[in-house]
Structure 1
Amino acid sequence: MVYLTICIPTRNRQRYAIEAIKAVSACDQADFEVIVADNSDDPAPLRDFFAGFGDSRFRLIGPADRVLSMVDNWERTMAEVGGRWVSFIGDDDHIDPRVVRLLRRYEREYKDVDAVGWSRIHYNWPDNRLHATLAVVPCEHDTYVASKPKLQDRLFTWSERHKRPSCGFGIYHGAVRRSLMEKIKRKCGGRYFEHPTVDFDNSCKTIHLARQLIYCQRPFSVLGACVASNSASTQSLEAMKKLVVDFYSDLGSGMQIQEDDFPFSPKLPGLAVISAIAATSWWYCRTYGVDNTGFQENFAHAAVHECLSSRTLEEYQIKVEGLRSGFAAWQGGAWARHFNPPPFTPPQSFNQLCGVHKDSIYIRESGLEAATPGEFYDFAESFIMPVEHVVSARRAFAA
């Protein structure tokens, strides 16, 4: 029986996808499947790899007759799912299929669980270390029953006022029960995924519609960032500009990220991430009647934090100008007075130190031998709680 389906959509990053496939295939469990949805211009690399691969747990969906948007590639992937639970990862990421054991435990203990989240390890591929970089490994392992009202407050009103809402649940680097995905399709436009910011589209729907959400502090996946990834764009303004051009080129004319009543353009360099996430939350609340009172003021404060994360004066000025223009045009400028970024202060240092901070280990990547997310996960398992202990729910361990 297929208990978990792991989906890996990919576009023109075949060598990373192949490494992801190899790493997941090293697990000897038989109760999961992997669907690789290739949306690349050249089908040959993955087609040829699968021809000699020979693992029946893995399936390849070849490119369509046209380049698909990300949301459409995810949509066709979800339609092929056979598992009871579903998880999506990027083609430059890694996931431990033994997370199936965690899902089984939580289903036994929490009968209404519809979504499971877990901590993620952060890792930069060797080709994405444009400056000093740190891998981050969370080291806690407790289980929490999430409060839906608090999660919705964070995601729909941005109550934390951070530059990113910390929601922690969704099908991307998390697991969602397939029955919930079918419920989402019934209630949300007849599709599994609607908004182009596809991961946050699902987070909005999962947090809104799930009965119960359970979170494990122990990491079960790796957010890898290769030089061609969305994450890499945060390290360089030029990389961000290229990402935006490529994304909008693939998006096509039938979809838009920016809402007509939300004048913060993800096309502006440096603002692509915060604008896209905020636009998704704003769109979902407006489309499905979710109360997001307080969002406007909270978003203004979050936008200040976005500006303060700038690495250079040029980046800071671009962000401030773009956001200030957006607030001036938004709802008659009613929220502009809440956007008051202080003068730019150059960062004193960045990613120069490694060690333990707030229950995570930070590791300087310049000396790492691990060359892929899968290899780094194997290394990190030497200092995090073993899977067997986490899934058994033991509270004490013999020396």
Structure 2
Amino acid sequence: MVLLTICLPTRNRQAYCIKTITALAQSEGNDFEVIVSDNSDDPSQLGDFFAQHFSDPRFRLIPPGPSVLSMVDNWERVVSHAEGRWISVIGDDDYIDPQLAGIIRRYEVLYRDVDAISWECMTYQWPDNRPVPTLASIPLANETRLPSHEGLADQLYRWSERKRSPSVGVGIYHGAIKRSLMQRIRDTYGGRYFEHPIVDWENTCKVLAQSKRIVHSERPFSVLGACLASNSASILSPDVLKTRVKTFVAESSGSIELHQPFFPFVFDDPGASLCQSIAAATAWFCHTYCHSTASFGINFAHAAMDECKFSTDAQTHAAKVECFSRGFADWEGGKWASHFTPAPFSPPRSVNQLSGVNDNRLNVREADIGAQTPAEFYRFGEHAIIPVDSLISGTRVFAL
């Protein structure tokens, strides 16, 4: 049996996807497979690449169907084809190290009941997605932690950290989930692996609820890439955000509605944010499957204020404040509205050009390092972190 299946759902970003496939194929391991689930309008680009320019038995292409799938349905399709004992999903503009299979084996020996593995991620902006000076980041720690389900549930379901995004990283997106756990999720929740349009965070909710043992590696094994065509590009550009949200809402039709009466925050609003999307997914899961959300309302109000603080300009700040204000006014009769008291706009304190170590992460100015893809950046970043072989063997020092 294949140990690890790397799932690569893609839509209309063929050039990035081909670079990611090519980078993954450079690995010499035979214990992983890669499944590319193409949901593009033009099937010929990836089809021709696989037929004429690429031959590797570890890779499989699922061509587009007769009609465009929503993101959640494309994820459903690709995971249903996985044959590995463990499954991971990444974006077509990301990168994951296939040597991850080695650390999975080590964790299976050390923690017999492990069924969910997470890790820290490097972050990288593709060269076409740098409208302002940008920093890539490399986590520097290498310890293994066993987070408690209770603590993670408090952070995710009840947003106890009061930050713009919960720090719960466990899930199939840039994580590895045992196939038996994914099957248990499918059997428990409506006969599907995925239901909600915010598919990554919905899966995080379900993995946390159904997993037996979660193991977290502080050593990164993947890169969260952001190309100009990605949804994450909207973080750097309000104009891109408007386009991405409009497309996402349109292509999510037919699945669970993004707009739910029990969480009345509007997604196609100019001030909509990632913070709001995550909250919508967690609120839907807890409401649908009866998980406690005690203190979620007041905690989310503080998280919304934290989101507003990250605005790059006064116009974006005003749009976020207005969007959140309308949502809080409608939510549970305005019960939590008085807790949303955002500070006036203040220009960002730090300039995104300063490299250095902060909070155990190395931040490097992307314009200076020459990496053209997430895979190239990962290889650059490996010079600053413990080698995979040393981590697998349990060695705690760098080889000289």
TM-score range, shorter chain: over 0.9
Does structure 1 residue 32 correspond to structure 2 residue 32? yes
Whether the 8 Å contact between 1:117 and 1:214 is mirrored in structure 2 is yes
Which residue does 1:292 correspond to in 2? 293
One-letter amino acid of the structure 1 residue matched with residue 262 of structure 2: D
1:157 alignment partner, SS class: coil
Which residue does 2:95 correspond to in 1? 94
Please give the alpha-carbon distance, in whole angstroms, between the structure 1 residues aligned to 2:198 and 2:399: 46
Whether the 8 Å contact between 1:197 and 1:276 is mirrored in structure 2 is yes
Please give the alpha-carbon distance, in whole angstroms, between the structure 2 residues aligned to 1:92 and 1:215: 23
One-letter amino acid of the structure 2 residue matched with residue 326 of structure 1: G
One-letter amino acid of the structure 2 residue matched with residue 16 of structure 1: Y
Which residue does 1:308 correspond to in 2? 309
Which residue does 1:221 correspond to in 2? 222
1:259 alignment partner, SS class: coil
Cα distance change on mapping 1:377 and 1:342 into 2, 3 Å: same
How big is the shift at 1:398?
6.0
Greater mean deviation of Cα atoms: 66-75 or 266-275: 266-275
1:127 alignment partner, SS class: coil
Q: How does 1:322-337 map to 2 (within 5 A)?
A: 322-337=323-338
How big is the shift at 1:328?
0.9
Which residue does 1:17 correspond to in 2? 17
Whether the 8 Å contact between 1:139 and 1:359 is mirrored in structure 2 is yes
How big is the shift at 1:246?
1.1
- The one-character-per-residue Cα deviations of 1:67-102 (angstroms, maximum 9, x if unpaired) are 000000000111101000000000000000000001
Please give the alpha-carbon distance, in whole angstroms, between the structure 1 residues aligned to 2:59 and 2:351: 40
**Alpha carbon RMSD of aligned pairs, Å?**
1.0
Which residue does 1:46 correspond to in 2? 46
Which residue does 1:317 correspond to in 2? 318
How big is the shift at 1:395?
2.9
Whether the 8 Å contact between 1:74 and 1:193 is mirrored in structure 2 is yes
Greater mean deviation of Cα atoms: 148-157 or 338-347: 338-347
One-letter amino acid of the structure 1 residue matched with residue 354 of structure 2: L
Please give the alpha-carbon distance, in whole angstroms, between the structure 2 residues aligned to 1:33 and 1:208: 27
How big is the shift at 1:292?
1.3
Cα distance change on mapping 1:398 and 1:385 into 2, 3 Å: closer
2:264 alignment partner, SS class: coil
Using structure 1 for the length normalisation, give the TM-score: 0.98
Which residue does 2:213 correspond to in 1? 212
Using structure 2 for the length normalisation, give the TM-score: 0.98
Please give the alpha-carbon distance, in whole angstroms, between the structure 2 residues aligned to 1:349 and 1:102: 36
Please give the alpha-carbon distance, in whole angstroms, between the structure 1 residues aligned to 2:202 and 2:220: 23
Which residue does 1:142 correspond to in 2? 143
Please give the alpha-carbon distance, in whole angstroms, between the structure 2 residues aligned to 1:398 and 1:353: 30
Which residue does 1:367 correspond to in 2? 368
- The one-character-per-residue Cα deviations of 1:236-292 (angstroms, maximum 9, x if unpaired) are 110100001111121124431122211111222242312211011011111111111
- The one-character-per-residue Cα deviations of 1:338-359 (angstroms, maximum 9, x if unpaired) are 1001111122443121011121
Whether the 8 Å contact between 1:240 and 1:270 is mirrored in structure 2 is no
2:362 alignment partner, SS class: strand
Whether the 8 Å contact between 2:387 and 2:398 is mirrored in structure 1 is no
Please give the alpha-carbon distance, in whole angstroms, between the structure 2 residues aligned to 1:219 and 1:298: 29
Please give the alpha-carbon distance, in whole angstroms, between the structure 2 residues aligned to 1:46 and 1:332: 50
Stretches of structure 2 that go unaligned for 5 or more consecutive residues are: none
1:208 alignment partner, SS class: helix
Whether the 8 Å contact between 1:265 and 1:272 is mirrored in structure 2 is no
One-letter amino acid of the structure 1 residue matched with residue 388 of structure 2: V
One-letter amino acid of the structure 2 residue matched with residue 223 of structure 1: L
Stretches of structure 1 that go unaligned for 5 or more consecutive residues are: none
One-letter amino acid of the structure 2 residue matched with residue 316 of structure 1: H
Whether the 8 Å contact between 1:234 and 1:270 is mirrored in structure 2 is no
How big is the shift at 1:226?
0.2
Cα distance change on mapping 1:183 and 1:65 into 2, 3 Å: same
Work out the percentage of aligned pairs sharing the same amino acid.
Answer: 50
2:157 alignment partner, SS class: helix
Please give the alpha-carbon distance, in whole angstroms, between the structure 2 residues aligned to 1:398 and 1:115: 29
Please give the alpha-carbon distance, in whole angstroms, between the structure 1 residues aligned to 2:149 and 2:208: 7
1:131 alignment partner, SS class: coil
Please give the alpha-carbon distance, in whole angstroms, between the structure 1 residues aligned to 2:251 and 2:368: 36
Cα distance change on mapping 1:119 and 1:360 into 2, 3 Å: same
Which residue does 1:106 correspond to in 2? 107
Which residue does 2:84 correspond to in 1? 83
Which residue does 1:181 correspond to in 2? 182
Whether the 8 Å contact between 1:20 and 1:93 is mirrored in structure 2 is yes
One-letter amino acid of the structure 2 residue matched with residue 204 of structure 1: C
One-letter amino acid of the structure 2 residue matched with residue 235 of structure 1: L
Please give the alpha-carbon distance, in whole angstroms, between the structure 2 residues aligned to 1:297 and 1:93: 35
Which residue does 1:283 correspond to in 2? 284
How big is the shift at 1:393?
1.4
Does structure 1 residue 273 correspond to structure 2 residue 274? yes
Please give the alpha-carbon distance, in whole angstroms, between the structure 2 residues aligned to 1:188 and 1:100: 28
- The one-character-per-residue Cα deviations of 1:322-373 (angstroms, maximum 9, x if unpaired) are 1111111111111111100111112244312101112111100112211000
- The one-character-per-residue Cα deviations of 1:179-202 (angstroms, maximum 9, x if unpaired) are 000000000011000000000010
Greater mean deviation of Cα atoms: 372-381 or 34-43: 372-381
Whether the 8 Å contact between 1:266 and 1:273 is mirrored in structure 2 is no
Please give the alpha-carbon distance, in whole angstroms, between the structure 2 residues aligned to 1:73 and 1:139: 34
One-letter amino acid of the structure 1 residue matched with residue 77 of structure 2: R
Please give the alpha-carbon distance, in whole angstroms, between the structure 2 residues aligned to 1:391 and 1:270: 45
Please give the alpha-carbon distance, in whole angstroms, between the structure 2 residues aligned to 1:227 and 1:270: 20
Please give the alpha-carbon distance, in whole angstroms, between the structure 1 residues aligned to 2:272 and 2:393: 43
1:128 alignment partner, SS class: coil
Please give the alpha-carbon distance, in whole angstroms, between the structure 1 residues aligned to 2:363 and 2:232: 18
